[in-house]
Structure 1
């Protein structure tokens, strides 16, 4: 994360969900979350395009997208096959699939965190704040 405001890529196929997440983050009491620039993508293909062109600190990655599983993108990022030329963004899986094996699959694919749907606005903000804070601490070292 740079000294500038953090950048979050929200990968979510449902327009209403994208709008709600952006509204929740914009109203957060935590400045790093509230001041973050939120980019969005509705498919894996558009997420890959955004990542190739944009510097992103955190990805909120829906697991079920029209063109495949978010796990594919998480795996590509973990393996370094998404050529961004920048440090790998932190990836948080966001999914309604809450079985233990689903969580384990997300972590094995390279996700750094997991957020169950449906979630409370406070849980979303806390998750984003936690991962931005971790990333900020890593950048200082």
Structure 2
């Protein structure tokens, strides 16, 4: 079973993501275990103790920009338990330079807010192993 780390400070958004993924038609997405973190600090703590396959990473968090975590993973400043997970930036910032900054920081994908449920499922399915 795959594991997803959902880094999102808004409770409603975390609840929505979990509900959408739990109803996905794709078994690998539907069956994935989702753990969450409401801040960068909490995400860093989870990553060093809990192996995950994918991080859904909000960019605007109470303790900083999510891209700092993506950079730290890409450069080895954060050493995750297990192998390096795929990272998908999830943000309302949809300007081309924001997408470029996410990819430059080491993100493997990008999802614009607001997004359709099908888009969330598709990006998760694309970045989960197997």
- Give the TM-score range, shorter chain: over 0.9
The answer to whether structure 1 residue 44 and structure 2 residue 46 are counterparts is: no
Distance in 1, matches of 2:71 and 2:79, equals 13
SS state at 1:106 partner? helix
* 1:74-118, Cα deviation, whole Å (9 max, x unpaired): 000000111224211000000000000000000000000000000
Structure 2 match to 1:62: 58
Structure 1 match to 2:69: 73
Count of aligned residue pairs for this structure pair: 130
Show structure 2 runs of 5+ residues with no match: none
Give the TM-score, by structure 2 length: 0.98
Runs of 4+ in 1 over 6 A off after TM superposition: none
For residue 98 of structure 2, the aligned residue among 89, 94, 102 is 102
Distance in 1, matches of 2:80 and 2:20, equals 28
Q: CA RMSD in A?
A: 0.7
For residue 23 of structure 2, the aligned residue among 24, 27, 32 is 27
Distance in 2, matches of 1:84 and 1:92, equals 16
Instruction: Assess if the C-alpha contact under 8 Å between 2:55 and 2:85 holds in 1.
Output: yes
**Which deviates further from its counterpart, 5-14 or 76-85?**
76-85
Give the TM-score, by structure 1 length: 0.90
**Residue 63 and residue 29 in structure 1: after superposition, are their counterparts in 2 closer, same or farther (change >3 A)?**
same
Distance in 2, matches of 1:30 and 1:84, equals 27
Distance in 2, matches of 1:103 and 1:118, equals 15
Show structure 1 runs of 5+ residues with no match: 137-141
